[in-house]
A and B are shown apart, each in its own frame.
Chain A
Amino acid sequence: MPTSPSSRRLLALGAALLCALASHPAHAATNGVLTVYWDANNEPDLAGYRAYMATSAGVFALPPAQARLQSVTHDVQPGTLQSTFGSLDTSFTYWFGVTAFDTSGNESGFSNVISATPAVTPTFTSLTPTSGAQGDTGLVVTLNGSNFQNGGTVSFGPGITVTNLNTTGVPLRLIATLSIASLAEVDTRDVTVTNPGGGSSTRINAFLVNLDLARADINSSSRIDGGDLVRLATSFAATSGGPGYSTQVDLNVDGVVDGTDLSYLITFFGFVGPF
């Protein structure tokens, strides 16, 4: 008994395909992975599903028995609603359809057919500049590497927003425009480039958020001096949420007023604004 194709409608492409890649950029062309998901068929004599993958949409115009000769197929149990195809060429587009078959050996027609391209793992090698300061806006950072794709994203961690990502230089270059929050933590950040399919590359401690000098002028006197030192002293060892704590004196915004904040203040002791 053929099962109605409409009952095995495939999910929307964006949500249905998860892509994972091995971590060897040199093999990026053939290490693509695609997973296809579908809705359940609830007929009582269901024996399983058959997921088809082909490199041409025309294959799915054929009856399943003929299409099978030109496809890669995976048979799965009735309780399974996904199948993963690996070792895919990341430069190809692949087409997928799913059928159901019953305990008598009948196979349905194809579900709706979808296509996808396996994710490409980017290789993120460098960026410039490698630092910015709290409160910076419109900071343009160029990221260099390979296999970058249109539609990808770049993450610099909490407190840093990528307000624009110029992808005209793909696959070798991305240009990100950053906005660093005034209270972004002063620290080094891991930077991650993620391609649309989910492949990503991270450089550890690649970007440094520096202290906004004006923040060391705690009492806004236009000079970093003893007034600021005494103010910091009264909150020394205070922790976020506790008495005496304020981000005004937690210069690096790490949640505790400590020697690190003091060292920043001492480093700039005597500096005169306007900051």
Chain B
Amino acid sequence: MTTNDRRASARGKAPRLIAILLLAVAGCGGGGDESSDDPVAAGLSTNFIADSSPICPGSPDTLGLTKISAVGRTAIIGVTVTDCNASLGIYGVVLDIDFDPAIMQCESANPCAGGTLLSSPLLTSAPQCTCNNNTGELIAAFSKRAPGTNDTITGTAEVIMSFTMRARRAGIGRVDLTATGSLNGSALATLSGGSAVAIGSMTYVSGTILAQ
């Protein structure tokens, strides 16, 4: 083998080594950060479609997910209380939300923001949320605090809080309100006799994220 042959051989091996390194870097992703996104995720367009839309008059008291906005890969989803006769006294919200982690992830560790329904005094300035992008679980809570009273809907529907999701890859994924919360399986609480009491008989509306 001549010197030139050895050089040629060395040049020939280099591209394979680089390819292995690139694969290794790609394999180091996970945990829900952007490194695990589909390579075409940057071009995704996301939308959120609620399963139904309560219409007053006539709709039962409903806690539902609604689209606030959808821009690029990001969708802001509102948690909306529909109370056609403005009869509910609302003190706080306790949410369990399941989502498809293959399609979407929380925008941040605390992807929640307050809505317009709950007025001061609030226990925390913003909703308290924690998100697990591996299992696809978001639990959230937002509450007034003592000394205080219940709030009622202005109009027929009002957003109690919102959360932001980001598409990871193209597809269709569910976003479901579940009744696994610790508030007797309910998501809304009212203040009664100084105690937080679950508001029963609510209708829950979930939805779907489309990323394409």
Chain B contacts of A266 at CB under 8 A? 124, 128
A-B contact pairs, 17 of them (CB 8 A): A225-B96, A225-B141, A226-B139, A226-B143, A229-B92, A229-B123, A229-B141, A230-B91, A231-B195, A231-B196, A234-B146, A234-B191, A234-B196, A244-B146, A244-B194, A262-B124, A270-B132
Q: How distant is the Cα of A71 from the Cα of B86 in the complex, in angstroms?
A: 95
A46 within 8 A of B: no
Q: How distant is the Cα of A231 from the Cα of B124 in the complex, in angstroms?
A: 13
Proximity string of chain B (170-198) to chain A, C-beta cutoff 8 Å, 1 when within and 0 when not: 00000000000111000001010011100
Tell whether A226 pairs with B194 under 8 Å between CB atoms, given A233-B91, A237-B147.
no
Chain B contacts of A230 at CB under 8 A? 91-92, 94, 141, 143, 183, 189, 196
Q: How distant is the Cα of A243 from the Cα of B195 in the complex, in angstroms?
A: 11
- Indicate if the CB atoms of A221 and B182 lie closer than 8 Å: yes
Chain A contacts of B63 at CB under 8 A? none
A232 within 8 A of B: yes
A250 within 8 A of B: no
Tell whether A238 pairs with B123 under 8 Å between CB atoms, given A227-B94, A229-B128, A243-B194.
no
B168 within 8 A of A: no
- Indicate if the CB atoms of A236 and B145 lie closer than 8 Å: yes
Tell whether A269 pairs with B130 under 8 Å between CB atoms, given A221-B182, A230-B91, A234-B146.
yes
Tell whether A269 pairs with B195 under 8 Å between CB atoms, given A226-B140, A230-B143.
no
Proximity string of chain B (148-168) to chain A, C-beta cutoff 8 Å, 1 when within and 0 when not: 000000000000000000000
4 further contact pairs, Cβ within 8 A, besides A225-B139, A233-B145, A236-B145: A223-B182, A225-B96, A226-B128, A262-B123
B73 within 8 A of A: no
A-B contact count, CB below 8 Å? 84
A219 within 8 A of B: yes
CB distance from A210 to the nearest CB of B (A): 21
- Indicate if the CB atoms of B146 and A225 lie closer than 8 Å: no
- Indicate if the CB atoms of A235 and B146 lie closer than 8 Å: yes
Among A248-272, those with CB < 8 Å from B are 262, 266, 269-270
Number of contacting residues on A, CB 8 A? Answer: 23
Residues of B contacting A: mostly: strand
B interface residues with partner A (beta carbon < 8 Å): 91-96, 123-124, 128, 130, 132, 139-147, 181-183, 189, 191, 194-196
CB distance from A234 to the nearest CB of B (A): 5
- Indicate if the CB atoms of B196 and A236 lie closer than 8 Å: no
A228 within 8 A of B: yes
Q: How distant is the Cα of A262 from the Cα of B122 in the complex, in angstroms?
A: 12
Chain B contacts of A270 at CB under 8 A? 130, 132, 139
Chain B contacts of A235 at CB under 8 A? 146
Residue of B nearest to A218 (CB): B182
Q: How distant is the Cα of A45 from the Cα of B191 in the complex, in angstroms?
A: 82
- Indicate if the CB atoms of B91 and A226 lie closer than 8 Å: no
CB distance from B4 to the nearest CB of A (A): 63
- Indicate if the CB atoms of A226 and B183 lie closer than 8 Å: yes
Q: How distant is the Cα of A96 from the Cα of B130 in the complex, in angstroms?
A: 72
Q: How distant is the Cα of A176 from the Cα of B196 in the complex, in angstroms?
A: 43
- Indicate if the CB atoms of A238 and B146 lie closer than 8 Å: yes
Residue of A nearest to B192 (CB): A234
Q: How distant is the Cα of A229 from the Cα of B196 in the complex, in angstroms?
A: 10
- Indicate if the CB atoms of A228 and B182 lie closer than 8 Å: yes
Q: How distant is the Cα of A151 from the Cα of B208 in the complex, in angstroms?
A: 71
Q: How distant is the Cα of A227 from the Cα of B196 in the complex, in angstroms?
A: 9
